[in-house]
Amino acid sequence: MAFNRIKLWGIASALVIGLIACEQKKTEPVQEEKEVQKEEIQEFPNEGKIAYVNIESLEKHYVYLNEKRKELNNRQNAIENELKRMNTQYESKMKELQEKYQKGTLTQEEAEKGEKDLMSLQQRFEQRQYETQNELLSLQENLMRDLQEKLNNFIEKYNADKKYAYILSYGEGGSILYADPKYEITNDVIEGMNAEEKKDKE
């Protein structure tokens, strides 16, 4: 009987040891897989996450945009001065004809010529006003397109190692109602884009 107990115990022990060995073999790949996943998470900590850029802050502090806006404002002021001069010329001609008419010195020939001159000045003013409005609109559109292109190019390079799933634009009146500051990367974008602009000028 004792021999049988020892024999049975030996068989049971062998079975237990075998089961433990099998379990270890089963758990080893799982553990290795978890370690690989952990390494991937450490390598790309932002993967699957969302970041955002405050567009209003970017527009305020982006040196390139501020310089281009100054150029646009200068051009707008120049256009306004040009139109003012044309309007002054028209008003001066009108005043001259009115004074002659009131004095009774305005001849029929002068009146007809004066009317043609006024019509010509008015047409030139309206044509120039139309042209300059389109010019300013085109300059504004080109500037916004240029800004968007520069931003897209920078974000693509910036996110090459950051691995954000989405980088959104945030601003007052936009579709995003709330943005947690810990996901904001505006300062990184401003500093990076300004650094690139400075490098391009060197």
Say what angle helices 186-201 and 63-103 make with each other, to 10 degrees. Answer: 80
Phi, psi of 120 (to 5 degrees): -65, -45
pLDDT at 6: 36
pLDDT at 174: 85
pLDDT at 15: 37
Among 35-44, 64-73, 81-90, which is the least confidently predicted range? 35-44
Mean per-residue pLDDT, 143-168 = 94
Mean per-residue pLDDT, 30-55 = 63
CA atoms within 13 A on the CB side of 173: 2
pLDDT at 149: 95
| Residue-wise pLDDT tens digits, 158-172 | 999 988 999 999 998
Report the SS3 class of residue 58: helix
Mean pLDDT of the chain: 82
pLDDT at 175: 87
Mean per-residue pLDDT, 113-124 = 94
- Of the pLDDT bands very low, low, confident and very high (cuts 50, 70, 90), residue 177 is confident
pLDDT at 81: 98
pTM: 0.68
Tell me how far apart the alpha carbons of residues 149 and 144 are, in angstroms, rounded to a whole number: 9
Q: Would you list the domain boundaries of the chain? A: 1-43, 50-201
Tell me how far apart the alpha carbons of residues 51 and 186 are, in angstroms, rounded to a whole number: 9
